[in-house]
Amino acid sequence: MRILLLCHAFNSLSQRVHAELRAAGHEVSVELDISDEVTAEAVKLFQPDAVVAPFLKRKIPEDVFATVPCLIVHPGPPGDRGPAALDWAVLAGEHEWGVSIIQATAELDGGPVLASRTFPMRPGRKSSLYRLEVTEAAVAALFEALQKIERGEPGDPPPPGRWRDPVSPTARRIGWTSDNTLTVLNKIRSADGFPGVIDEIAGREVRLFNAWIEPELTGDPGTLLALCHGAVCRATVDGAVWIGHMKEAGERPFKRRATAVLGKAVAELPELPIDSDPEKGRGPICYREIGAVGVLEFDFYNGAMSTEDCRALLAAYQQATRRPTRVIVLAGGSDFWSNGMDLNAIEAADSPPDESWDNIRAIDEIAEAVIRTTSHLTVSAIGGNAAAGGVFLALAADEVWARSGVVLNPHYKNMGNLYGSEYWTYLLPKRVGEDGIAAVMGHRLPMLAAEAESLNLIDRVGPGNRADFDRFVAAEAQSLSEADFDVRLKTKTERRARDEAERPLQAYRDAELERMRMNFYGFDPSYHVARFRLVRRSPHAWTPLYLAHHRARVGGK
């Protein structure tokens, strides 16, 4: 089919749908929802068999849905209507939720239901549920709905349901002296990643993101208790929560670490070290051992790894290499494995070029430590999406396994044509050969795990369900630690020595960083402009041609 994706932004779900539809052989083009006229023009140019809206904030114009079937992905079960379906579900602590594919009509979310799926709810951020459960359910339901459209079958009339407006700030306002820990968490999670719960801390109005439970500390409800790796701990009536990120209006209206936003107001609080014990869970890094396998999880918010994050991860990795285990699994985080440098922290810095320079070198240190590891076999287990430097960091391990369903963006082009580092000039040709480099780096499109495997970018694709993937990784890592372990370790050590003799790692790093220095400090401001736009979530004025093929064909913009 010829399918036009109409989206507010080319977000994770839109990227996944785009990649899945292409993999299934459909001809796909994308139009960002800029105005009704532009949408109508896109339909005229592309003449699609169906319009699919994976992430849309407005109604589809009548002259469009009257001429072509338009399928809306709604993150709620049949009958649920309104723009904040998932917010309400998290806030209410629903046990089960769903996704519906609704055919667009004049009534918003009120058209026939072509397909739907349900899933058990997991305690987690709205954005995390969206990137995992909602995305998996949406893809499955969408394919069923498209088959119905192809066969000319109508959808079912929507069951009686209810319309719900956006959640008002008062419905989510936290009563620090009345709400228990679970209620506080649900309120914050229901608004995370957007728009954040409005709260007042130290006399300032802030929006809260990235909250998790503190296992031990308690205090007078509402008081601030401690700091840990940029997060602030605040007491509730029956415990305490950590708040990792905040946003405030003003000069830097984007998410930053809580301590960076609150500054002097929290400077006197005691600083607790990151505790990677899985039982304590204090901070974003967690280490556990299963037999001869050490599993290192690093759940940095939005997959963004700041200079401090990288230093903490390097220390945890070095610690893991000193353990009497045989295999180290780099497991990343729940939603993202890694998205490379922390562009928000860079944007907030007094000197973004200097902070970029520090950040890229700190990531390189991790990549180098992994590449140089000769005590263990290493595995990158990509269970969440990864982009840019995050993908290339994963390649530093001996084995790279990905959950089927993750979306990889293995290129730096979308960030103002960054050259990139993380030793990609050493790691990538070894995997894909010199000829394969352009296939990976030369485009700007997201890629599914299966495509990455077919290009040899990764070694294996594991199950799509996250819990199944974690079990797959645990079992396969265990067998790596048994079968031929000594032979494999010896072969790897010898190969590394040969590579080093041929061209030292330092030479790759120096050459990459020379190019990065030009990106950060040089004449061309593209990287700084792209970063400014990404962290501020600037709206699009047109659809880039690498997405809008229908416009590329006629030479439009």
| Contact footprint for ligand COA (CB under 6 A) | 11-12, 15, 193-194, 255, 302-304, 339-344, 385, 387-389, 409, 412, 414-415, 418, 534-535, 537
Tokens of 55: 């992430």
The answer to whether 520 and 353 are in contact (CB under 8 A) is: yes
What minimum distance in Å lies between the beta carbon of 103 and ligand COA?
25
What minimum distance in Å lies between the beta carbon of 50 and ligand COA?
22
What minimum distance in Å lies between the beta carbon of 366 and ligand COA?
12
Tokens of 401: 């396994």
The answer to whether 557 and 551 are in contact (CB under 8 A) is: yes
CA 43 to chain centre: 30
What minimum distance in Å lies between the beta carbon of 507 and ligand COA?
21
What minimum distance in Å lies between the beta carbon of 338 and ligand COA?
8
Which 3-state string (H, E, C) describes 46-87? HCCCEEEECCCCCCCCHHHHCCCCEEEEECCCCCEECCCHHH
> Which one, 65 or 242, has the nearer CB to ligand COA?
242
> Which one, 75 or 340, has the nearer CB to ligand COA?
340
What minimum distance in Å lies between the beta carbon of 415 and ligand COA?
3
User: How far is 543 from 547, CA to CA, in rounded Å?
Assistant: 7
> Which one, 113 or 395, has the nearer CB to ligand COA?
395
> Which one, 344 or 425, has the nearer CB to ligand COA?
344
Handedness of CA 180, 181, 185, 188 (dihedral sign): positive
> Which one, 103 or 356, has the nearer CB to ligand COA?
356
> Which one, 123 or 253, has the nearer CB to ligand COA?
253
What minimum distance in Å lies between the beta carbon of 256 and ligand COA?
10
Cα distances from 544 to residues 56, 349, 415, 541, in angstroms, run 18, 29, 14, 9
> Which one, 11 or 456, has the nearer CB to ligand COA?
11
| Total residue count of the chain as it appears in this document | 557
Residue nearest to ligand COA (CB): 340
> Which one, 331 or 535, has the nearer CB to ligand COA?
535
What minimum distance in Å lies between the beta carbon of 517 and ligand COA?
15
Which 3-state string (H, E, C) describes 144-200? HHHHHHHHCCCCECCCCCEECCCCCHHHHCCCCCCCCHHHHHHHHHHCCCCCCEEEE
- Rounded to 5°, the CA angle 200-203-207 comes to 30
